[in-house]
């Protein structure tokens, strides 16, 4: 879900919510040290598709977006998974595989043009070697399995190109799985091909990503997969009742029993019910205005309406503490070994929470965890340890089959 309202302004935390941590606090100073000392992996950064729409050189500071190299270094980010995203519409019109290959070409070009800063990472071993060398890893994840195009040979093709997780679907049902966002559920979960694909992903060493899929599909993945799976960018439905895109408590427990990990999405409408309700009210008002005036969404009149609406009713941003609540909830349900970071930077537009606006802000998250009593060892698991454990288990399963 992308927010394009540049006029949205952050609503300050003056409503009695908990305050941000002082930049000079002991927790923040310790957090900056931890961020630079340990490997930080974020399993969902939507840089490639952002650059496909409007290219910028992310090896230097960029005017737009949530990610560039200088900000990532400031935040301690070492392994941003580059999301190879293809829109759901291409499932019908064609071109998913072509676009996915083009985006992988782009990431390879970024590495080629700045080898002193970036490196590809096809394995946990390469990830850890790159960290020691002091270069930023670009592991690859595929958001939407549409580029597989019903052919297992394409799974091998993308594995060979570096794809190490696949989000089975996106906003619409595809030939692999039903989607949490789609009211149409033609497969009742996974398709027959989808079940075969999950098995082959296990055998090849590609992590199965259950973000975006329907609840029925999730439980079918749990039944089929012999290796731990990930939710690359999802949050806890406990705080957003009825929002199927997030995971409910039973799903989080099942994921943990499988050995997997949920990587928390930072988008305000994944984190805060208040943000969801605010955004839904805005969409309803915009739809009514468009219908009453027979206007398209991209018309100047609708743009003006949006700006005026947001002046009167600003978007409600989640807070850092709201995000931390999701981490706490998962830990309370399933322990420290099953949660990590899947921010969705560059994928949720202007909706990022206060204190977590771009890749320079991971120390804010760490400081919040410290303030809540997490040990340094626990935080290391959240930053990358849990994700690397799952990835290594997936590699080991593939090596034995």
Q: Which residue has the tokens 């989808």?
A: 194
Q: Which residues span the domain enclosing 115? A: 26-272+317-399
Res 24: pLDDT:
78
Residue 18: pLDDT band with limits 50, 70, 90: low
Q: Give the Cα-Cα-Cα angle 15, 271, 23 (nearest 5 degrees).
A: 60
Average pLDDT over residues 22-49: 94
Q: How far apart are CA 332 and CA 48, in angstroms?
A: 35
Res 11: pLDDT:
35
Res 231: pLDDT:
99
Q: CB under 8 Å to 43, separation ≥6 — which residues? A: 81, 141, 165, 230, 232, 233, 263, 340, 341, 342, 387
Give the pLDDT confidence of 342-378 residue by residue, as tens digits.
999 999 999 999 999 999 999 999 999 999 999 999 9
Q: How far apart are CA 235 and CA 239, in angstroms?
A: 9
Average pLDDT over residues 157-162: 98
**Residue 306: inside a domain, yes or no?**
no
Res 20: pLDDT:
58
**What region does 284 belong to: left with phi over 0, alpha with psi -120 to 50, or beta?**
alpha
Res 54: pLDDT:
95
**Residue 371: inside a domain, yes or no?**
yes
Q: Which residue has the tokens 């900000």?
A: 71
> Is the model's pLDDT at 3 over the cut of 50?
no
> Is the model's pLDDT at 4 over the cut of 90?
no
**Residue 303: inside a domain, yes or no?**
no
Give the pLDDT confidence of 166-219 residue by residue, as tens digits.
999 999 999 999 999 999 999 999 999 999 999 999 999 999 999 999 999 999
Q: Based on the structure, what is the number of domains in the chain?
A: 1
Res 82: pLDDT:
98
- Say if CB 31 and CB 367 are below 8 A apart: yes
- Tokens describing residue 395: 């590699």
Residue 23: pLDDT band with limits 50, 70, 90: confident
**Residue 197: inside a domain, yes or no?**
yes
**Residue 345: inside a domain, yes or no?**
yes
CA gyration radius, the chain: 20
- Tokens describing residue 60: 């230097």
> Is the model's pLDDT at 16 over the cut of 70?
no
**Residue 181: inside a domain, yes or no?**
yes
CATH of the domain at 45: 3.20.20.140
Q: Which residue has the tokens 């829109």?
A: 87
Give the pLDDT confidence of 265-291 residue by residue, as tens digits.
999 999 999 999 999 999 999 999 999
Average pLDDT along the chain: 94
Residue 8: pLDDT band with limits 50, 70, 90: very low
Number of C-beta neighbours around residue 4 at 10 A:
12
**Residue 264: inside a domain, yes or no?**
yes
**Residue 13: inside a domain, yes or no?**
no
Q: Which residue has the tokens 């994921």?
A: 255
């Amino acid at each position: 879900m992308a927010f394009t309202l540049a006029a949205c302004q952050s609503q300050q935390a003056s409503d009695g919510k908990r305050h941000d941590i002082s930049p000079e606090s002991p927790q923040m100073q310790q957090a900056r040290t931890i961020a630079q000392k340990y490997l930080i992996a974020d399993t969902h950064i939507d840089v490639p598709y952002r650059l496909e729409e409007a290219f910028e050189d992310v090896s230097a500071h960029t005017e737009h977006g949530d990610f560039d190299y200088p900000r990532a270094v400031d935040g301690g980010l070492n392994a941003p998974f580059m999301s190879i995203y293809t829109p759901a519409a291409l499932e019908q019109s064609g071109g998913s595989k072509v676009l996915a290959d083009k985006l992988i070409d782009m990431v390879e070009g970024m590495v080629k043009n700045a080898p002193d800063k970036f490196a590809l990472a096809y394995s946990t071993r390469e990830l850890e070697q790159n960290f020691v060398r002091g270069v930023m890893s670009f592991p690859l994840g595929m958001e939407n399995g549409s580029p597989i195009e019903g052919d297992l040979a394409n799974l091998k093709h993308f594995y060979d190109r570096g794809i190490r997780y696949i989000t089975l679907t996106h906003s619409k049902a595809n030939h692999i799985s039903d989607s949490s966002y789609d009211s149409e559920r033609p497969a009742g979960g996974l398709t027959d091909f989808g079940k075969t694909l999950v098995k082959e992903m296990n055998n090849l060493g590609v992590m199965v990503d259950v973000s975006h899929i329907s609840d029925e599909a999730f439980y079918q993945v749990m039944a089929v997969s012999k290796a731990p799976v990930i939710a690359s960018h999802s949050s806890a439905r406990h705080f957003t009742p009825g929002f199927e895109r997030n995971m409910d408590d039973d799903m989080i427990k099942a994921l943990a029993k499988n050995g997997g990990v949920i990587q928390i999405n930072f988008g305000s409408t994944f984190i805060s019910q208040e943000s969801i309700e605010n955004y839904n009210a805005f969409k309803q008002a915009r739809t009514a205005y468009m219908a009453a005036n027979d206007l398209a969404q991209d018309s100047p009149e609708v743009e003006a309406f949006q700006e005026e609406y947001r002046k009167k009713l600003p978007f409600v941003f989640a807070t850092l503490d709201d995000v931390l609540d999701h981490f706490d909830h998962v830990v309370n349900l399933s322990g420290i070994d099953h949660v990590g970071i899947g921010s969705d930077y560059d994928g949720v537009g202007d909706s990022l929470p206060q204190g977590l606006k771009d890749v320079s802000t991971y120390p804010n998250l760490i400081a919040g965890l410290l303030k809540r009593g997490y040990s340094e060892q626990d935080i290391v698991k959240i930053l990358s340890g849990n994700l690397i454990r799952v990835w290594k288990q997936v590699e080991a399963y593939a090596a034995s089959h």
